[in-house]
Amino acid sequence: MLKREITISKENFMNLLSNKSSLFLILSIAVISIAVYPLVIPHIAHPSMIYHIILHMISLDVALFLTTISAISYNKTKSKKILLTALSFGFLLITEFLYLLQSSNLLGMFYIPLIEVEFPHLLLLVMLGLFAAGVLRLEKK
């Protein structure tokens, strides 16, 4: 019997990254395969929790996709606008990850002492600031 080696060349990998629909599919499969067993299965008897967890899984998946796409775009263009956008989506990814852990009761509410603000809310504010800076930034020609 012949064995076939599966090798991924750099060109095939870059083609995969440039095809946004296949990249989204791969990232979605990764998020689902990693998150379903520890997050969804323990709450299978609570439909309202399942819907809340699935909502945050979808949000995490979209944030991961946007972060990946903007990081690839920054790697190609080296634009500071794209860098700020990539960083903002990175903060969104972290925020959605924390919300996913909170919705599945693996992480409680994490308040910042002194100001009594939830940490994910602060991250969302940073994300909005970075996104606004990326949108409003003027590129020097």
- The pLDDT tens digits for 75-89 are 999 999 999 999 999
Q: Give the pLDDT of residue 39.
A: 77
Q: Which of 13-17, 42-46, 64-68, 115-119 has the lowest mean pLDDT?
A: 13-17
Q: Which helix (H) or strand (E) holds 75?
A: helix 47-77
Is the model's pTM score more than 0.85?
no
Cα first-last separation, the chain: 60
